[in-house]
Structure 1
């Protein structure tokens, strides 16, 4: 089984061999709930997002990834921050790639669609900020959520 292993400040983590720009989209609905997906590769809950493709902007990437991973069409309304911690590495067991984190996290609002599971997400749902502690969320993703909820907008972190 192909796995994604997140290392954060782990002295035993493999050395990075890749740096790939990625974009996340933190989508908030009219009830102030946050769109989250349960990743099939880790089982943890996360914001929709992924690798930026050649020829697209970070905003286009975030909107595309959001719809692909959650079924929700959204539009970008702002930027939360740039997250690029050299101590956060993502290891892919399928090909030996070890990426150093580089994520632009944008803020958005839904414009259509219905939350739906797919090849990348086993569950998709709107989560109230009060409920976030009930979900398994990686510490680096939780940091982004907490930055949003506490109105901290780091440009570079």
Structure 2
């Protein structure tokens, strides 16, 4: 049986990250807006996310990354999360888990790794997201919100 050097096996271990699909009501409480960040180095737009640290679960990672990248300290994340798995150019697999979350805060304090932010409606998010896989996750999130809206149509849950 052939064995690989340890560093090759370690390279195949997935890189793990977590983030948030962060939304808030617009000023008229009529429509949702979602937060996107522009990466300073690559120029692409995405949602707040980052690498999981040792002894940190995915929820803790998502909460920490949101606070670090936006200055918004969330208290809770929603279920279910959305998962994205892909292969990095190096050949290493990467797993990213995005948790939906809501905030009332519209003020954003960017981290040094980002140079712009935008609160956008659905159409704006779809136009601005840089990767098709993120658009698919966003669309799945919208479908989930639509189902929740139908379930709670008779009451005021989710009202501004």
What does residue 155 of structure 2 align with?
Answer: none
Task: Find the partner of 1:29 among 24, 35, 39.
Answer: 24
CA RMSD of the aligned region, Å?
A: 2.3
Larger of the two Rg values belongs to structure: 2
What does residue 117 of structure 2 align with?
Answer: 124
Show structure 1 runs of 5+ residues with no match.
1-15, 92-96, 153-157
Runs of 4+ in 1 over 4 A off after TM superposition: none
What does residue 88 of structure 2 align with?
Answer: 90
Counterparts in 2 of 1:143 and 1:30: CA distance versus 1, 3 Å? same
Counterparts in 2 of 1:70 and 1:54: CA distance versus 1, 3 Å? same
Number of equivalenced pairs? 130
**Aligned-residue offset at 1:45:** 0.9
Alignment of 1:100-111 (within 5 A): 100-110=93-103
Q: Which structure exhibits the higher relative contact order, with contacts defined as CA atoms closer than 8 Å and separated by 6 or more residues?
A: 1
| Partner Cα distance (2:137, 2:50) in 1 | 15
- The two structures have a TM-score, normalised by structure 1, of 0.70
Of Structure 1 and Structure 2, the greater helix share is in 2
